[in-house]
Amino acid sequence: MGIEVVVEGLTKSFGPQRIWQDVSLTLPAGEVSVMLGPSGTGKTVFLKSLIGLIKPERGRVLVDGVDMVHARERALHRARRLFGVMYQDGALFGSMTLFDNVAFPLREHTRKRESEIRRIVMERMDMVGLAGAEQKLPGQISGGMRKRAGLARALVMDPQIILCDEPDSGLDPVRTAYITQLLMDLNAQLDATMLIVTHNIDIATTLPDNIGMLFLRRLVGFGPREVLLTSQEPVIAQFLNGSRHGPIGMSEEKDAALLAAEREQLAAGALATAELPEIRPQLVPSPGLPDRAAARRRKERVLGMLGQLPEPAQLAIMESYRNDLRAPTHDGLTRPIPTLGGEE
């Protein structure tokens, strides 16, 4: 089972430029989370901060009892072995075969024999659909195959936390659909905690259990997918609709005069009110794979917090679980699903 990641008050700057501040969230153990945000909002910096590659000025990142911001190098090194990272470009060594690329972490960080390394590498390459391609070089394969090879390498150390930086970048819609399903299938098989940074709305609306968004140096929101997918927060609605109208501009934030003009146009009926897209069903594992253990835990967790959520999110959650008359709990008993406002 994956490990919970707790982020408390994280603040990061580069010189005088504040990237984000006071970011707090919890990645639930074993669940799939997505972080959205316009370009330049520090999503990749956030990923690197979780694994301790970048040091924020303030805050903590707690992973299995280790603070990744303040820990000594030895403890940090041990905690990093809990992570697997899929980089945006695959980060493969061009002169190495795919087999050697995937085997690299095992040869660098373990004392396993080559026979054991081969077994692990072939198993992981098979999991991502690359069986038979192990002797190819990165320059001989497609971008989608390079992504999957990078993912296989991220898996060889049996991580309990998997970070994916824009797994869809450079891919066409069909390959994006394949890799999105692959990530869901891996979660079903490994039960690892997953955080995926993406701009892709299809991924954000069909893959995760939880969604967050960074904008203007702050975390606009983070929580169950239904919360953000029903949010009327202007920046969230604009991003999910891909609209020009809203706080997000070409660089990042629109100036106050332009926003005021848009509000006047909206009030006068010259601009259409943005409607949030319909909530699409969450992906499920491919046929033949086990049900996601995280989905069962997530259901209990979300139903337990139902009364604390906005009404549109409550309705969306109850609709998604409408076939369940009673909600399972950790003690093996059942409880009635709470109604709006938290009453039973």
- Condensed to tens digits (0 to 9), the pLDDT of residues 35-85 reads 998 888 899 999 999 999 999 999 999 999 999 999 999 999 999 999 999
What letter represents residue 71's amino acid?
A: A
Residue 260 has a pLDDT of 53
What letter represents residue 106's amino acid?
A: L
CA 282 to CA 287: how far, in whole Å? Answer: 15
Residues 6+ apart with CB under 8 A from 57: 11, 12, 13
Q: Considering the entire predicted model, what is its pTM?
A: 0.86
Residue 115 has a pLDDT of 96
Percent of the chain with pLDDT over 90: 67
Average pLDDT along the chain:
86
Beta bridge partners of 223: 211
pLDDT tens for each residue of 122-157: 999 999 999 999 999 999 998 888 999 999 999 999
pLDDT tens for each residue of 86-124: 987 778 898 999 999 999 999 999 999 999 999 999 999
Confidence tier at 338 by pLDDT (50, 70, 90): very low
Number of CB atoms found within 10 A of residue 325's CB? 9
Residue 334 has a pLDDT of 44
Which domains, ranges and CATH numbers included, belong to the chain? 5-225 (3.40.50.300), 232-267 (no CATH), 293-342 (no CATH)
Query: Helix crossing, 173-190 with 143-155: angle to 10°?
Result: 10
